[in-house]
Structure 1
Amino acid sequence: MRILIVEDDLDVAEMISECLQIEADVAVRIVGDAAAALNACPEFRPDVILLDLGLPDVSGSKITAQLMTFCPTARIIILSGYDPGRDGDRPPPEFVRLIKPVDFDVLHHHVFAAGIGRLQA
């Protein structure tokens, strides 16, 4: 499984990466902003994208449609340090939204549970 972590706090991203790589056959790539996420998608082809909303260049919620275009099979999980509904910064409602600090068991469940991340129509 390939997991793209889009997180501008490198310490948080590395901690999440280490926790997820406990599982066998997991490759993780960390990027720190929206532009890098969009560039990484076509080449890395992630199965799951952990997307922070508070990115330095563009809000994570504003790039979800582009990520879905560049990585059409990836499940996107919003992983943010604040309530995604605050300040009108709302990601599409069909995404799983987890508030940091997230319990590892909850994160693990959402990353590795098949079919979770984007609702199937």
Structure 2
Amino acid sequence: MEPVSMVVGAVIAVVGFVAGRQVTRRQARASLTQQRQHEQQRAVQGGHQQPQPLCGCGHHLVFHDKSTKKCQTQVVIPGRWTGQAGSTYRQCMCQGYRGPIPLDEYYAPDLTEGNNP
């Protein structure tokens, strides 16, 4: 091989590498700004919603048994993971609820009824 074609090939490889890095950085930066905007929008709108008691398995507190705390839901296993034609179902493997515990609601009489000292 002659040295000129080797140099031209090296220059093409370096230019391709640098261009690929710049495109990736630009896409990552755009994705990061979009994610920040989404988080800001969610923070503004999320102040009006009550926090949901979700377990680490992703299921709500109502799907866990009160006494054993085990998850009672069925999860779908796609057939492409098991090599079968159709999807299958199995019990969720969550051993106990590990999410935030909602506060109990108690009734307290109003202090403005006139019976306070």
Larger Rg computed on CA atoms: 2
Q: TM-score, normalised by structure 1?
A: 0.14
**TM-score, normalization: structure 2?**
0.15
Q: Which has the larger share of strand?
A: 1
Whose RCO is larger (CA < 8 A, sep 6+)?
1
Q: Which has the higher helix share?
A: 2
